[in-house]
């Protein structure tokens, strides 16, 4: 009877894995949604539940294993079976003709065919499969040895944990290595940078750097949150004799790997040129960045005949596109003031077309950048779009400079009507306008408050905010909720009318329902982005408790650092901010986590904010399992004991941590206490 039931569960687990694999393939490779997010989540949750109740059913290719395990302490080194070569670069068609000539000389005839591929601007990786299962993934490193990044590569949902079986000339292909480029879509890169800017962190320079940094994260959970992509371009195996590169790519595709849809089999070098020209023009229509084209000899026999020199093959070459540049007039330098007063100088340019779009503004970063490059108003400047998505001013055309152009003096005053003094705190590169009533800051703060991820008042966009500020109807975020007093006047305004005023007031009223974490984020506290606001709301539950928290209370919360804690303390020490909060409260905004949310949270996450340390061996769970149980209930596990530790779980033969815990008077739990605390009951 029992066996029968177990078999049923096993069958269901397999069914769920296959379904999820199918939906993942459709979604992540073919960009097609076969079911709704909710249905998908339900299937995933069911599989998690089955596996939790029956750990014996967990398989290595289960989708639940993509983000499993603890963060690494450091990377292990992997020695590549075959060296990971790099490519020689060329920048002109002449050099490519030279390459073709060398190929012909070495082969003693024309090559059979070429394959032209996009050169993805990302990070090269290698993945080995054993018995059809993903085994080890590594970075290129120095070409001979790289870092083991299997934990991160598994989080990329388009990479199969288990391949679709294929047979080649009667042999099942199960043991092989693939190589490819991990990269990021421009839109995902921009989204991450937007968030960084919002919490006033330095944005990443380009998608490639962010991809490289992401692959080097030690915690796979963080990697999983950043949408990485891959294009596979190489297959190696001892099992069978492979014949052609282009055929290998189509085999990779059949096995379930993402490959570039843009590769082209070219019968001669002229066809390669056509491909180069096409993508030189069209590359900006791609959703990701390429830095050129790779040209490869198709026949693997010809490839091995040609061999390689130093670290590059003689059978392939990279044709790199130049970074696109343009020269234009710098009409003016204006100052952009952020919601916290940070000043960014902006180049106002004579509009110029560059790399797929018209550019009329570019950031000049800060005063030092302008001084170093000696950029002057009236200069002709060179702007560039290299690997960076945001254009940059890369130099000044000195020959075009006249005597009228004087060195730029960074303004001493804010560009707003109040003319407040700008200050540059010691050790910082930025200037700040320190006047909290600076109209620019006020405006940015209102825009932030109204934005989608904060109060989401759709009808209160930049333009409307500007008009309302000019009319004097709003001076700060709390005034928004008194706008209805001006509704008659608003209706009389040109282009406003009954309907738009009613819509605006409705949207404002509706925003009162936004949960506490959105309100907290909307307050625009420096360094407190969306994620931190959520964490704080969950931990402190109400604004009163948050406002009363000490620096220690704040930094004890997972992921709240010193800088954030200090910013929060400064914010709550400011009487004006407290006054605003009191007004918002009176209007009915949410300043505590709604009861049902709180209830659900407490029920499912009773260990929220609790920090555990494990020592010694447990009977009923491995350390990793214990850690997962704690995290599931909202707790956190750290490696060493400090005064912030809430509990020490003591198993058999505990280490020195136990003594330390006793010394510091931290509550120690034996296995039984611990199991009871996390509500574990034997299956
Ligand atoms: S083939 C021996 N194909 O460019 C040939 N590389 O320096 C190995 N890359 O390290 C590379 N797209 O990171 C190849 N379609 C493509 C590529 C590509 C990007 C990168 C790869 C490699 C570097 C060449």
With a CB cutoff of 8 Å and minimum separation 6, the contacts of 469 are 439, 442, 443, 446, 475
Q: Which of 265, 294, 317 to mutate to test the pocket of ligand 1 (most atoms within 8 A of CB)?
A: 294
Among the four given CATH numbers 3.50.50.60, 3.30.470.30, 3.40.50.970, 3.30.420.130, the one describing domain 89-275+283-318: 3.30.470.30
DSSP readout, 26-65?
A: IIIIS---SS-HHHHHHHHHHHHHHHHH-GGG--TT-GGG
DSSP state of 155: T
Q: How far is the CA of 294 from the centre of ligand 1 (A)?
A: 7
Q: Which of 80, 86, 297 to mutate to test the pocket of ligand 1 (most atoms within 8 A of CB)?
A: 86
Structural contact between residues 354 and 323, judged by C-beta atoms closer than 8 angstroms: no
- With a Cβ cut-off of 6 Å, ligand 1 is lined by 85-87, 117, 119-120, 124, 181, 233, 294, 313, 316, 318
What residues are paired with 77 via a beta bridge?
147
Taking the CA of residue 140 as reference, the ligand 1 atom at the shortest distance is 10
- Please state, in angstroms and rounded to a whole number, the distance separating the CA atoms of residues 507 and 478: 15
Smallest CA-to-CA distance from 341 within 263, 442, 418 is with 442
Q: How far is the CA of 234 from the centre of ligand 1 (A)?
A: 9
Per-residue pLDDT band at 655 (split at 50, 70, 90):
confident
Taking the CA of residue 122 as reference, the ligand 1 atom at the shortest distance is 13
Structural contact between residues 417 and 469, judged by C-beta atoms closer than 8 angstroms: no
Q: What is the pLDDT of residue 683?
A: 42
Smallest CA-to-CA distance from 525 within 550, 552, 546 is with 546
Tell me the average pLDDT of the chain. Answer: 90
Per-residue pLDDT band at 682 (split at 50, 70, 90):
low
Q: What is the pLDDT of residue 599?
A: 60
Catalytic residue list: 119
With a CB cutoff of 8 Å and minimum separation 6, the contacts of 512 are 481, 587, 588, 589, 590
Q: Assess whether pLDDT exceeds 70 at residue 386.
A: no
Nearest CA to ligand 1 atom 2: 85
Q: Which of 82, 117, 207, 233 to mutate to test the pocket of ligand 1 (most atoms within 8 A of CB)?
A: 233
Q: Does the reported pTM lie above 0.95?
A: no
Q: What is the pLDDT of residue 175?
A: 97
Taking the CA of residue 318 as reference, the ligand 1 atom at the shortest distance is 24
Q: What is the CATH number of domain 2-65?
A: 1.10.287.610
Structural contact between residues 593 and 515, judged by C-beta atoms closer than 8 angstroms: yes
- Please state, in angstroms and rounded to a whole number, the distance separating the CA atoms of residues 490 and 483: 9
Name the percent of the chain lying above pLDDT 70: 96
Q: What is the pLDDT of residue 573?
A: 97
Q: How far is the CA of 620 from the centre of ligand 1 (A)?
A: 48
CA 385 to chain centre: 21
Q: Assess whether pLDDT exceeds 80 at residue 181.
A: yes
Smallest CA-to-CA distance from 97 within 312, 268, 303 is with 268
- Please state, in angstroms and rounded to a whole number, the distance separating the CA atoms of residues 179 and 245: 13
Higher pLDDT, 61 or 1: 61
Q: What is the pLDDT of residue 603?
A: 58
Q: How far is the CA of 161 from the centre of ligand 1 (A)?
A: 23
Taking the CA of residue 119 as reference, the ligand 1 atom at the shortest distance is 12
Per-residue pLDDT band at 523 (split at 50, 70, 90):
very high
Ramachandran bin of 405, using left for φ above 0, alpha for ψ from -120 to 50, beta for the remaining angles? beta
Q: Which of 146, 318, 387 to mutate to test the pocket of ligand 1 (most atoms within 8 A of CB)?
A: 318
Taking the CA of residue 117 as reference, the ligand 1 atom at the shortest distance is 15
Nearest CA to ligand 1 atom 6: 119
Nearest CA to ligand 1 atom 22: 86
Domain 325-419 has CATH 2.60.40.10: no
Nearest CA to ligand 1 atom 18: 119
Structural contact between residues 291 and 123, judged by C-beta atoms closer than 8 angstroms: no
Structural contact between residues 346 and 363, judged by C-beta atoms closer than 8 angstroms: yes
DSSP readout, 514-571?
A: S-HHHHHHHTT-TT--HHHHHHHHHHH-BHHHHHH--HHHHHTSTT--HHHHHHHHHH
Nearest CA to ligand 1 atom 11: 86
Domain 606-677 has CATH 3.40.50.10190: yes
Name the percent of the chain lying above pLDDT 90: 63
Q: What is the pLDDT of residue 617?
A: 87
Q: How far is the CA of 124 from the centre of ligand 1 (A)?
A: 7
Q: How far is the CA of 183 from the centre of ligand 1 (A)?
A: 12
Q: What is the mean pLDDT of residues 149-170?
A: 94
Structural contact between residues 669 and 650, judged by C-beta atoms closer than 8 angstroms: yes
The CA–CA distances, whole Å, from 54 to 7, 47, 63, 64, 625 equal 12, 10, 16, 13, 13
Nearest CA to ligand 1 atom 21: 124
Q: How far is the CA of 127 from the centre of ligand 1 (A)?
A: 15
Q: How far is the CA of 265 from the centre of ligand 1 (A)?
A: 17
Nearest CA to ligand 1 atom 1: 233
Per-residue pLDDT band at 94 (split at 50, 70, 90):
very high
Least reliable range by pLDDT among 46-50, 69-73, 332-336, 392-396: 69-73
Phi and psi (nearest 5°) for 570? -65, -40
The answer to whether the 439-513 and 516-603 domains have the same CATH topology is yes
Q: What is the pLDDT of residue 561?
A: 85
Dihedral angle over CA of 648, 652, 657, 662, nearest 10: 60
- Please state, in angstroms and rounded to a whole number, the distance separating the CA atoms of residues 354 and 284: 10
Structural contact between residues 612 and 649, judged by C-beta atoms closer than 8 angstroms: yes
DSSP state of 477: G
Taking the CA of residue 123 as reference, the ligand 1 atom at the shortest distance is 13
Taking the CA of residue 118 as reference, the ligand 1 atom at the shortest distance is 15
Q: What is the pLDDT of residues 482-511, one digit of tens each?
A: 999 999 988 888 788 888 899 999 999 999
DSSP readout, 202-253?
A: PPPS-HHHHHHHHHT-S-HHHHHTS--EEEEEEEE-SSS---BHHHHHHHHH
Nearest CA to ligand 1 atom 12: 119
Nearest CA to ligand 1 atom 17: 119
Q: Which CATH class is domain 516-603?
A: mainly alpha
Domain 439-513 has CATH 3.40.50.300: no
What residues are paired with 127 via a beta bridge?
137, 178
**Element (DSSP H or E) covering residue 102:** helix 93-107
- Please state, in angstroms and rounded to a whole number, the distance separating the CA atoms of residues 352 and 487: 43
- Please state, in angstroms and rounded to a whole number, the distance separating the CA atoms of residues 68 and 597: 27
Per-residue pLDDT band at 531 (split at 50, 70, 90):
confident
Q: What is the pLDDT of residues 543-594, one digit of tens each?
A: 999 999 999 999 888 778 888 999 999 999 999 999 999 999 999 999 998 8
Q: What is the pLDDT of residues 205-256, one digit of tens each?
A: 788 989 999 999 888 888 888 899 999 999 999 999 999 999 999 999 999 9
Q: What is the pLDDT of residue 373?
A: 94
Q: How far is the CA of 594 from the centre of ligand 1 (A)?
A: 52
Domain ranges of the chain: 2-65, 89-275+283-318, 325-419, 439-513, 516-603, 606-677
Instruction: Count the neighbouring beta carbons within 10 Å of the beta carbon of residue 570.
Output: 12
**Element (DSSP H or E) covering residue 282:** helix 269-282
Tokens of residue 108, six digits: 């003693």
Least reliable range by pLDDT among 96-110, 246-260, 346-360, 456-470: 346-360
Structural contact between residues 441 and 433, judged by C-beta atoms closer than 8 angstroms: yes
Taking the CA of residue 308 as reference, the ligand 1 atom at the shortest distance is 2
- Please state, in angstroms and rounded to a whole number, the distance separating the CA atoms of residues 523 and 363: 26
Q: How far is the CA of 295 from the centre of ligand 1 (A)?
A: 10
How many residues does the structure list for the chain?
683
Q: Which of 119, 180, 308 to mutate to test the pocket of ligand 1 (most atoms within 8 A of CB)?
A: 119
What residues are paired with 145 via a beta bridge?
79
- Please state, in angstroms and rounded to a whole number, the distance separating the CA atoms of residues 426 and 14: 61
Least reliable range by pLDDT among 189-193, 394-398, 406-410, 437-441: 189-193
């Amino acid at each position: 009877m029992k066996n029968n039931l177990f078999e049923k569960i096993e069958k269901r687990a397999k069914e769920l894995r296959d379904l999820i694999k199918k939906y993942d393939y459709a979604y992540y490779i073919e960009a097609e949604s076969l079911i709704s997010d909710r249905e998908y989540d339900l299937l995933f949750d069911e599989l998690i539940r089955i596996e939790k109740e029956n750990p014996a059913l967990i398989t290595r290719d289960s989708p639940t294993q993509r983000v499993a395990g603890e963060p690494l302490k450091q990377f292990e080194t992997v020695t590549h079976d075959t060296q990971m070569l790099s490519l020689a670069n060329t920048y002109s068609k002449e050099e490519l003709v030279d390459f073709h000539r060398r190929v012909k000389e070495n082969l003693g005839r024309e090559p059979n065919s070429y394959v032209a591929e996009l050169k993805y601007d990302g990070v090269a990786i290698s993945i080995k499969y054993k018995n059809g299962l993903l085994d080890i993934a590594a970075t290129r490193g120095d070409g001979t040895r790289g870092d083991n990044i299997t934990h991160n590569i598994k989080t990329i949902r388009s990479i199969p944990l288990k391949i679709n079986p294929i047979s080649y000339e009667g042999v099942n292909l199960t043991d092989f290595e693939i190589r490819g480029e991990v990269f990021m879509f421009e839109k995902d890169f921009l989204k991450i940078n937007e968030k960084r800017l919002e919490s006033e962190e330095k944005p990443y320079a380009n998608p490639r750097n962010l991809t490289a940094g992401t692959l080097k994260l030690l915690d796979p959970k963080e990697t999983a949150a950043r949408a990485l992509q891959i294009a596979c371009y190489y297959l190696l195996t001892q099992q069978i004799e492979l014949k052609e590169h282009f055929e290998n790519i189509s085999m990779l595709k059949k096995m379930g790997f993402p490959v570039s849809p843009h590769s082209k089999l070219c019968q001669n070098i002229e066809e390669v040129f056509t491909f180069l020209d096409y993508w030189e023009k069209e590359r900006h229509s791609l959703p990701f960045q390429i830095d050129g084209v790779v040209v490869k000899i198709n026949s693997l026999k010809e490839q091995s005949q040609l061999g390689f020199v130093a670290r590059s093959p003689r059978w392939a070459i990279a044709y790199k596109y130049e970074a696109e540049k343009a020269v234009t007039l710098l009409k003016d330098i204006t100052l952009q003031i952020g919601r916290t007063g940070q000043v960014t100088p902006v180049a106002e340019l004579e509009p110029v077309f560059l790399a797929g779009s018209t550019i009329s503004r570019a950031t000049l970063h800060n005063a030092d950048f302008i001084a170093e490059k000696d950029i002057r108003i009236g200069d002709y400047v060179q702007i560039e779009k290299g690997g960076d998505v945001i254009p940059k001013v890369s130099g000044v055309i000195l020959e075009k400079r006249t005597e009228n152009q004087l060195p730029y003096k960074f303004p001493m005053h804010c560009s707003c009507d109040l003319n407040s003094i700008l200050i540059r705190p010691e050790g910082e590169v930025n200037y700040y306008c320190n006047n909290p009533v600076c109209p620019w800051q006020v405006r940015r703060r209102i825009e932030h408050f109204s934005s989608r991820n904060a109060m989401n008042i759709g009808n209160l966009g930049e333009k409307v905010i500007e008009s309302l500020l000019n009319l004097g109807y709003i001076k700060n975020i709390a005034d928004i909720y008194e706008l209805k007093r001006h509704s008659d006047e608003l209706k009389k305004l040109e282009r406003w009318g009954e309907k738009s005023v009613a819509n605006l007031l409705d949207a404002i009223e509706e925003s009162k329902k936004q949960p506490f974490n959105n309100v907290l984020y909307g307050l625009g506290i420096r360094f407190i982005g969306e994620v931190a606001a959520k964490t704080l709301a969950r931990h402190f539950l109400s604004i009163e408790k948050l406002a009363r928290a000490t620096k220690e209370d704040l930094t004890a919360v997972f992921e709240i650092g010193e800088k954030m804690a200090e910013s929060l303390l400064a914010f709550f020490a400011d009487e004006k901010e407290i006054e605003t909060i009191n007004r918002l409260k009176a209007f009915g905004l949410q300043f505590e986590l709604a009861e049902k949310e709180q209830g659900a949270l407490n029920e499912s996450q009773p260990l929220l904010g609790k920090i555990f340390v494990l020592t010694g061996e447990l009977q009923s769970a491995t350390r990793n399992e214990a850690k997962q149980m704690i995290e599931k209930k909202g707790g956190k596990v750290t490696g060493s004991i400090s005064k912030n530790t809430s509990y020490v779980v003591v198993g058999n033969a505990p280490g020195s941590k136990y003594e330390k815990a006793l010394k510091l008077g931290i509550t120690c739990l034996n296995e039984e206490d611990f199991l009871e605390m996390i509500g574990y009951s034997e299956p």
